Amino acid sequence: MNPEPVAALSDRRQLRRILRQRRRNLTRQQQRQASRALARQLMRHFSTSKARHIGLYLPNDGEIDPRDFTTEARRRGIHVYLPVLHPVLGNQLWFYHYEPGTVLSPNRFGIPEPSARNGKRRAPWALDAVLMPLVGFDLSGGRLGMGGGFYDRTFAFKRRETSRPPRLIGLAHDAQQVAVLPIASWDVPMDAIITPSREVTCHPQNTKLRADYRRLFVGHYRLHSSRQPAKT
């Protein structure tokens, strides 16, 4: 059974604190089970996909771990890329090829990334799909990140051309769902969300929820704090 979505809150910082704590509260065993279940969902998704160049991430701060999927992806001929902080435009991302033996070094946030000198770079718009980390999501495709805005700036072109590659897929624990996220003008919507239990396609018509949020959810809303994530 999936945990109850977090109630709508207009304060993004408060939401971020609540949701980060939710995923940190998962035990090591729960994280491992979630990672395996996510890998099965991803293999099912990409079994019918023509994607050959996929961006993903290395987990940090309790993020769901997509690495179980990488071995199977390579076996299927899929090239995997990791985000690297742009050396000049420090608020955007480059993507570099990631394979066994790739040397990784911590960036300024302490997150391992490939060296920008390895030469195997791919432009964001040349990827077929990007598996994105997130702090919170809603079913309209709204995404709450860590607050740096790196993915939103990197894929800003998707706001103008929503059908243009890559397909943006958010990965999350089920406990990271929010009833309705507060959406800013610069937020880039996701095309799909995959959790250990399901896959959700985010249809364009669902963006009406975001307009409704701005009209209806003006103040701060109380979290259903007594409801904890379901134990799995």
Q: What is the mean pLDDT of residues 28-44?
A: 97
Q: What is the mean pLDDT of residues 7-34?
A: 88
pLDDT digits (tens, 9 = 90+) for 105-120: 998 888 999 987 766 8
192 strand-pairing partners = 169, 201
pTM of the model: 0.84
The band of 181, judged by pLDDT with boundaries at 50, 70 and 90, is confident
Q: Tell me what pLDDT residue 119 has.
A: 67
Running DSSP on this structure, what letter comes out for residue 6? B
Q: Who has greater pLDDT, 128 or 180? A: 128
Domains, the chain, with CATH or none: 12-216 (3.40.50.10420)
Residue 190 has pLDDT above 90, yes or no: yes
What's the one-letter identity of residue 155? F
Q: Tell me what pLDDT residue 3 has.
A: 61
Whether the bond into 133 is cis, omega within 30 of 0: no
Residue 152 has pLDDT above 70, yes or no: yes
The span from the CA of 193 to the CA of 172, in Å, is: 8
The span from the CA of 177 to the CA of 22, in Å, is: 10
Q: Who has greater pLDDT, 130 or 186? A: 130
The span from the CA of 122 to the CA of 53, in Å, is: 9
pLDDT digits (tens, 9 = 90+) for 131-151: 999 999 999 999 999 988 999
The band of 36, judged by pLDDT with boundaries at 50, 70 and 90, is very high
Specify the DSSP element, H or E, that contains 85. Answer: strand 79-85
The average confidence (pLDDT) of the chain is 84
Q: What is the mean pLDDT of residues 20-26?
A: 95
- Alpha-helix residue ranges (DSSP H) falling in 11-85: 12-24, 28-46, 67-75
pLDDT digits (tens, 9 = 90+) for 75-108: 999 999 999 988 666 689 999 999 988 989 998 8
- Measuring CA to CA, which residue among 74, 206, 90 is closest to residue 138? 206
Percent pLDDT > 70 in the chain is 80
Specify the DSSP element, H or E, that contains 167. Answer: strand 167-171
Q: Tell me what pLDDT residue 4 has.
A: 55
Whether the bond into 166 is cis, omega within 30 of 0: yes
Cβ neighbours of residue 147 closer than 8 Å, sequence gap 6 or more: 12, 13, 16
Q: What is the mean pLDDT of residues 8-15?
A: 75
Q: Tell me what pLDDT residue 16 has.
A: 93
